[in-house]
Chains A and B, each alone.
Chain A
Amino acid sequence: MLDSGALIAHTTKLELVIRHVLAGLGHGIHAGRERGAGVEFSEYRAYAPGDEWRRVDWKLMARADRYFVREAERDSHVAVWLVLDATASMLEPSRSMPLTKLQYARVILACVAAIAQRQGDAFGLVVCQGERAHVTPAARGPRQLQRVLAQLNRTEAEGTLPGQDTLRASLHFSAAPSAVFVAGDFLDWPSPLSEAVLRLRRMRHDVRALCLQTEAEVEGGFDPALAYRDPEWGEGVFRFGPDVRAAYLRNRDAHFAQVVADCRKNDLPMLCARIEQAPGEVLRTWLNKRVYAAVRT
């Protein structure tokens, strides 16, 4: 089987990657509330490519010579919200394979979107990028999936996180029950995004955070010959070497210990994953368990 990481790195076709990642995952990971077609008829809707054939009303097709799909009424609506941190720091590449955190996060969120679509949930997307939040309103159906995937594909990492007010205005869905999937690097903590996420959790939404890391970051394996600068803060030059590795790991561990502690305090499951890991495995862990730590490789 082709390595999913390599596939992410080499194709921009998110559908292909999703199919590849979700091949062994199956349905029903998330507790969808959809009762299926025909439980309580609501309306007819024109067929759209991607709709399941079994939902097409054949008798109506014989009468009208067109395809119509029977839409069912739902008991309740759980909207799935995908929040993508697309700030400049998400351009951090894996030092061992041609893959960035943004590409990885994009695939994971696309998989979540595909699962939500399969289950019939409405799903929307919030991209935090360049001090703004781009919101794709929640909807359901195959077209929404195409919309979300296109938006994900368009996203380039740049700038810093939007301010607290911007985020608060963008996350206007907080009234309805929703599942929120946040993917980012959480290097800024506390940040407007962290405040927003914790606030959503306190409002009883099902919030899950995915903290993406690279192997080089976790193990402190950077090239000592280069000087480094922060992609978001801009000023200042930083040095790496064997002598500062211990201090680096100590600082980093302290930071993420604080992040995990805050999450645990607010009962917010956070998964720390390395982008070198197989996305399918990471996705399964993220959706299945209420984790507060890293995936085991």
Chain B
Amino acid sequence: MSSLWWWALPVLLLPILWHRQKREQTRSAPLASARFLPVAQPKQLRVWRWNDPLLLLLRCLLLAALIALLADLVLPWRGDSVLVVPGTPAALVDKEAAALPDARRIALPDRDAVDWLHAHEREFKPEARLLVVGDIAMPATLPRFRHAVRLRAHSVAAARAERHVAVFSTRPEAWRRLFAAPQGGVRTVIDARPGPKTALVVWDLPEAPPATLRAPLWWVALADHQHARVFPELAHAVRVGAIQYADSARGRLWTMDAWPLADADGARALLAAWERLAHPAQPWTAPPMTMAPDAAAPAGPAGGALRELLSIALLVLFALERMLAHVRRR
């Protein structure tokens, strides 16, 4: 949509026309004996000459920069590339990249290579070949690109995850039993002291926690009358099923009427809820495939790669134009 702004380029003709010298009279000199010469038509020479060429140049550049900014100019500068999904072994990348020896390697921010490629496809030259290596997330629909793209997907066995929990309670054994309940592929480590890796703090003490203690999730196991004193945010807690939650400066707070310290099903449901919050479902690995370039593929969304540069250029050009115009007027 923003590329429609390129149709505004004829606006550049305006300063060019404004700066054109309106008309140029034939340069004439006085000559006493001119009366013996034949009369010539006083020629309005339509010379193509512009006054203040520097100002004209600045104004044209200003307009061009503005249009480029609005049209979200993206210059194709990337050639053959190997896109590497994070976590892919280097040996695997080297093996797959042998087909494109001169290709630059680009480390992707996450597994969703197709999404990234859609967003950045305009940065690639038309003849560029792309190879994506790693544990690529499978897209919902078959992707279409304007470039030749090969997906070389290799699923990587997910490392056994660890979660660190800090328990502040007068009944730590009961909590330990809760976390010992089997959870698919996730091991829970109960730390004596909370650290930077701590994902969950269990607060089962009547006094207020230290002000510096922060964690993404807090389980608050206090009687209701103690909430107002220790965690005043829980007064406005929202109930979802058995769990009430509220957000505080320390992190998200969960509380329940009855913590399922002795109930195996309740404990499983609670841990599954925590698992869903901390680790949403991971997409499947996309199958290996080769996609031919499709010229009709929709262009990616706004690139914005040059937006900052163009904005600065616009500002500088505007300032220069104003100054020069002011100087010329004096």
Which partner residue on chain B sits nearest A243 by CB separation? B38
Across the interface, B37 reaches (CB within 8 A) one of A101, A223, A244, namely: A244
CA–CA, A228 to B26, complex, Å? Answer: 9
A238 touches B26 (CB 8 A): no
A255 touches B36 (CB 8 A): yes
Q: Does B282 sit at the interface, judged by CB under 8 A?
A: no
A230 touches B39 (CB 8 A): no
Contacts of B43 in A (CB 8 A): 227, 237
Q: Does A229 sit at the interface, judged by CB under 8 A?
A: yes
A238 touches B30 (CB 8 A): no
A217 touches B32 (CB 8 A): yes
Q: Does B31 sit at the interface, judged by CB under 8 A?
A: yes
Within 8 A of A (CB), among B38-73: 38-43
CA–CA, A226 to B27, complex, Å? Answer: 6
Across the interface, B32 reaches (CB within 8 A) one of A92, A236, A255, namely: A92
Contacts of B28 in A (CB 8 A): 226-229, 237
Within 8 A of B (CB), among A225-268: 226-231, 233, 236-240, 244, 247-248, 251-252, 255
B39 touches A237 (CB 8 A): yes
B32 touches A237 (CB 8 A): no
| Chain B: interface size category | 10 to 19
B33 touches A244 (CB 8 A): no
Contacts of A91 in B (CB 8 A): 30, 32
Interface string of A174-187 (1 = CB under 8 A from B): 00000000000101
CA–CA, A248 to B41, complex, Å? Answer: 17
Give the top 6 A-B pairs by smallest Cβ distance, nearest first. Answer: A239-B40, A92-B32, A228-B31, A89-B32, A238-B37, A251-B36
CA–CA, A90 to B32, complex, Å? Answer: 7
Q: Does B4 sit at the interface, judged by CB under 8 A?
A: no
Which partner residue on chain B sits nearest A185 by CB separation? B32
Which partner residue on chain A sits nearest B26 by CB separation? A227
Within 8 A of A (CB), among B171-187: none
With A237-B39, A239-B40, A244-B38 already in contact, the answer to whether A252 and B26 are too (CB < 8 A) is no
Contacts of A251 in B (CB 8 A): 35-37
CA–CA, A187 to B32, complex, Å? Answer: 8
Since A88-B30, A244-B37 are in contact, a sample of 17 more A-B pairs with Cβ atoms closer than 8 Å, ordered by chain A residue number, is: A90-B32, A101-B32, A187-B32, A187-B35, A226-B28, A227-B28, A227-B43, A228-B34, A229-B28, A230-B31, A231-B31, A237-B39, A237-B43, A238-B35, A238-B40, A239-B40, A251-B35
Contacts of B36 in A (CB 8 A): 248, 251-252, 255
Q: Does A222 sit at the interface, judged by CB under 8 A?
A: yes
CA–CA, A8 to B195, complex, Å? Answer: 105
Within 8 A of B (CB), among A78-109: 88-92, 101
B27 touches A231 (CB 8 A): no
B39 touches A238 (CB 8 A): yes
Contacts of A227 in B (CB 8 A): 26-29, 40, 42-43
B31 touches A238 (CB 8 A): yes
Which partner residue on chain B sits nearest A88 by CB separation? B30
A238 touches B29 (CB 8 A): no
CA–CA, A89 to B36, complex, Å? Answer: 13
CA–CA, A291 to B176, complex, Å? Answer: 140
CA–CA, A229 to B26, complex, Å? Answer: 11
The 29 listed contacts between A and B (C-beta, < 8 Å) are A91-B32, A92-B30, A92-B33, A187-B33, A187-B35, A217-B32, A226-B28, A226-B29, A227-B26, A227-B29, A227-B40, A229-B28, A229-B34, A230-B31, A230-B35, A231-B31, A233-B35, A237-B26, A237-B41, A237-B43, A238-B31, A239-B39, A239-B40, A240-B37, A247-B38, A248-B36, A251-B36, A251-B37, A252-B33
Contacts of B26 in A (CB 8 A): 227, 237
CA–CA, A233 to B39, complex, Å? Answer: 13
A222 touches B31 (CB 8 A): yes
Across the interface, B38 reaches (CB within 8 A) one of A88, A185, A239, namely: A239
B6 to chain A, nearest CB (A): 44
B38 touches A238 (CB 8 A): yes
Contacts of A236 in B (CB 8 A): 39, 42
Indicate the member of A223, A238, A244 with the most B CB atoms within 10 Å: A238
Which partner residue on chain B sits nearest A222 by CB separation? B31
Contacts of B31 in A (CB 8 A): 92, 222, 228-231, 238, 240
A93 to chain B, nearest CB (A): 9
CA–CA, A187 to B40, complex, Å? Answer: 20
B32 touches A238 (CB 8 A): no
Interface string of A57-89 (1 = CB under 8 A from B): 000000000000000000000000000000011
Contacts of B39 in A (CB 8 A): 236-239
CA–CA, A89 to B35, complex, Å? Answer: 11
CA–CA, A247 to B28, complex, Å? Answer: 20
Indicate the member of A92, A185, A239, A255 with the most B CB atoms within 10 Å: A239
Contacts of A185 in B (CB 8 A): 32
CA–CA, A240 to B37, complex, Å? Answer: 7
CA–CA, A15 to B282, complex, Å? Answer: 111
Contacts of A247 in B (CB 8 A): 38
CA–CA, A32 to B193, complex, Å? Answer: 137
CA–CA, A214 to B114, complex, Å? Answer: 87
